[in-house]
Amino acid sequence: MRLSPGRLLPAEFNSYYLHGEDEDAIFEAAEALLAEGAEDAVRIRVDINELARVESESRNQGLFGPSICFALVRNAKSANPKQSEHLLKLAASVATDNRLIICAAGIDWKKALHKKMKAEQAVAECEFSRPDEAAFGRWLDSEIRKSGLNVASDAVVWMSERLSGMRLAARQMIQRLNWYDNGAGDELALDVVAELLGERAPGALEEWCHAVAMRSPDALSLVRQLLKEQQVAEVQMISWLGTRMQQLLMYRWYQSQRDRNALQAAKVFGDARRKVADESRAWKGSELALAMQRIITAEKLVKGATIEDRPVVIERLTLDLVGPGRLLP
């Protein structure tokens, strides 16, 4: 039987198969199903290579009669054929009072286990699609309001873009903001939120990344502003630029495979979604691969693999990426 995420609770079935792209939502729902019901139930979490433990606990008679067992299988995606058959047998034969929750985040829809689980009448199946930006933004705004925080609207939008569907990370961030606010109720501006998320000058960083991705000479003046005026950490700059260039590379690859939504497949989020298509046209595929190699080398250098000044490493990297003829094997 197929269920929507909103119909999973209260738990009415003995076997659940949770799959899809939204890993955080899958495990959040799985933990809720595990916690629901009999207080005296034995609750266990196992990997796919520990299915024998599920059988053992499910059949445990105990000193005072049979015990109830609720089991969560964390990584069904990794099951080999033998484990898949074992898991299918378990799912189809869960005792009346027991519960089996199978998590298969990111499983290939072509995999035999996935098809058989969906076809199994005894299993309640639920798909968790990755939320689009608007849906995640609404969810995040709702969670912030529930927490009682007063977060500036542009900061909420920025959080939504940076966290990109990661619910667990979002909840951890909201908790951090609560600790910072300590019940004061003051408006938390973008600069405060960015600092607490470990990011400094997000607007200026985005401008620099876009300039590099467009191979614009403006990137050279922007990199100096970030390093000298705004004193952004070199490691943070490498992280932002590496993410953007990786997105460009993956976007070009998915485009070449004629993917229907190359932006989504390449995990391009936030403001970058409006820019990556144009940015990708500034590069050949081979140049993007070389650019990633330069970024990886620069990352090693700024993390201590050289005695050279780290700002110099970042400035040279910027020049190599935007300067004509400098990106050679």
Q: What is the pLDDT of residue 200?
A: 74
Burial 3-39 (b: 16+ CB within 10 A, else e): bebeebeebebbbbbbbbbbbbbbbbbbeebbeeeee
Say if residues 105 and 20 touch (Cβ distance below 8 Å): yes
Partner residues linked to 128 by β-bridges: 20
Query: Does position 197 have pLDDT exceeding 80, yes or no?
Result: no
In a domain, 28, yes or no: yes
What is the count of structural domains for the chain? Answer: 3
User: Residue 62 — very low, low, confident or very high, per pLDDT cuts 50/70/90?
Assistant: low
Q: Are residues 160 and 211 in the same domain?
A: no
Q: Are residues 173 and 62 in the same domain?
A: no
Q: ω before 10 within 30° of 0 (cis)? A: yes
Kindly state the average pLDDT of the residues 199-214: 88
Q: What is the mean pLDDT of the chain?
A: 90
Q: State which residues form the domain around 187.
A: 133-196
Q: What is the pLDDT of residue 202?
A: 77
- Residue-wise pLDDT tens digits, 31-60: 999 999 999 899 999 999 999 999 988 887
Query: Does position 64 have pLDDT exceeding 60, yes or no?
Result: no
pLDDT top residue among 86 and 201: 86
Q: What is the pLDDT of residue 7?
A: 93
Q: Are residues 216 and 251 in the same domain?
A: yes
Kindly state the average pLDDT of the residues 190-214: 86
Kindly state the average pLDDT of the residues 171-194: 89
Kindly state the average pLDDT of the residues 133-150: 90
Q: What is the pLDDT of residue 268?
A: 82
Q: What is the pLDDT of residue 63?
A: 47
Radius of gyration of the chain (CA): 24
Which phi and psi angles does 162 have, rounded to 5°? -75, -35
Q: Are residues 228 and 153 in the same domain?
A: no
Q: What is the pLDDT of residue 61?
A: 59
Residue written as tokens 């005792």? 95
Rounded distance between C-alpha atoms, residue 275 and residue 206, angstroms: 11
| CA 3 to chain CA centroid, nearest Å | 23
Q: Percent of the chain scored above 70 by pLDDT? A: 97
Q: What is the pLDDT of residue 271?
A: 74
Q: Are residues 292 and 212 in the same domain?
A: yes
Kindly state the average pLDDT of the residues 257-276: 84
Q: What is the pLDDT of residue 167?
A: 84
Q: What is the pLDDT of residue 327?
A: 81
Domain end, chosen from 78, 100, 128, is at 128
Of the listed ranges 6-20, 88-102, 163-177, the one predicted with least confidence: 163-177
Q: Are residues 288 and 241 in the same domain?
A: yes
Q: What is the pLDDT of residue 87?
A: 97
Query: Does position 18 have pLDDT exceeding 90, yes or no?
Result: yes
In a domain, 328, yes or no: no
Q: What is the pLDDT of residue 269?
A: 73
The domain spanning residue 294 has which CATH number?
A: 1.20.272.10
In a domain, 88, yes or no: yes
Rounded distance between C-alpha atoms, residue 109 and residue 99, angstroms: 24
DSSP characters over 65-100 = SPPPEEEEES-GGG--HHHHHHHHHHHHT--TT-EE
Q: What is the pLDDT of residue 252?
A: 93
Partner residues linked to 3 by β-bridges: 126
Q: Are residues 118 and 50 in the same domain?
A: yes
The domain spanning residue 116 has which CATH number?
A: 3.40.50.300
Partner residues linked to 71 by β-bridges: 44, 100
Alpha helices in the chain (DSSP H): 23-35, 51-58, 81-92, 112-119, 133-147, 153-163, 167-181, 190-196, 202-213, 218-224, 234-256, 262-265, 276-280, 285-300, 310-322
Q: Are residues 86 and 42 in the same domain?
A: yes
Burial category of 291 from C-beta neighbours within 10 Å (exposed 0-12, middle 13-18, buried 19 and up): buried
Partner residues linked to 237 by β-bridges: none
